[in-house]
Amino acid sequence: MRTLLTVAALGIMVGVYRPVGFAAWQAPAAALPVYGYTVVNTYPHDRDSFTEGLFYENGFLYEGTGLEGGRSYIRKVKLETGEVLQQHNIDPKLFGEGIVTWGNELFELTYTTGLGFVYDKNTFVQKRTFRYTGEGWALTKDKDGLIMSDGSDSLRFLDPATLAERKPRLKVTAASRPFREDQSTGIRLTNINELEYVKGELLSNVWQQQYIARINPQTGKVTGWIDMRGLLTPREAAGVDVLNGIAYDEQHDRLFVTGKLWPKIFEIKITQPQRGR
């Protein structure tokens, strides 16, 4: 998602969550842990790429971007150099969103049109389209099928063959948050953005926040936060948009993160929590 933000907007991401005007709220018995990170490596990233979807597979990085006017595309990229090996541009009137593969197919969402695309993973040739209600934000997968976010507090589970929802939607809740609440109420976590399934849990960007949520995909409960502040220097942050984009290299146990219009992709290690919030 969504609209272009200036770096000044990133300033809203710092602070402590204080629920206001929600009578049913009860303070959690224990705050959720907040993890840190260390940077292992950095790699180049195209500063014109408005990153919406990101994953790593078979030695290559795949990226789906957003914005209309011809800026939405899917790419296969050489991680180490940023070289674009393959690219498919979608209709300039469309705003591209999350991407994921299943077997020999690559799936892509669009933002507000309810239109998705299925491509041949190797050639990027479009094979078919599919429809869904509401908005499309992100895609990932577990062993059973695709997982989709739509900007709400719910996750959808899709059958990769039919694209029908294969089980009830899962509500995502967070007992405590390390950032100010703006568009959520109570313990609902809205603005769930880019997703990555890693070692049995879901990692999710939260739009306009510099924290990654760790979500239990069985219960929908946030089990902790990863504080991603400080990745970019002030000079690097000039003109960028929000943190968005998580990819996991399962073979080598490497985790990558980036953002919209960011100049770098970061390989990180998650460190032990220093505090709870």
Rounded-to-integer distance, Cα 75 and Cα 66, Å: 12
pLDDT value at position 31? 84
Listed as ranges, residues in the chain with pLDDT below 50 are 5-29, 183-185
Q: Tell me if 182 sits within 8 A of 225, measured CB to CB.
A: no
Rounded to two decimals, the pTM is 0.87
pLDDT value at position 183? 45
The residue extents of the domains of the chain are: 7-276
Q: How many CB atoms lie within 10 A of CB 268?
A: 21
Give, in order, the Cα–Cα distances in Å from 271 to each of 34, 38, 200, 245. Answer: 10, 7, 18, 19
CATH fold label, 7-276: Lipocalin (2.40.128)
Q: What are the phi and psi torsion angles at 7 (to 5°)?
A: -60, -25
Rounded-to-integer distance, Cα 148 and Cα 261, Å: 23
pLDDT value at position 88? 98
Nearest alpha carbon to residue 58 among 85, 38, 40, 37 = 85
pLDDT value at position 179? 77
Residue given tokens 């490497």 in the structure block: 254
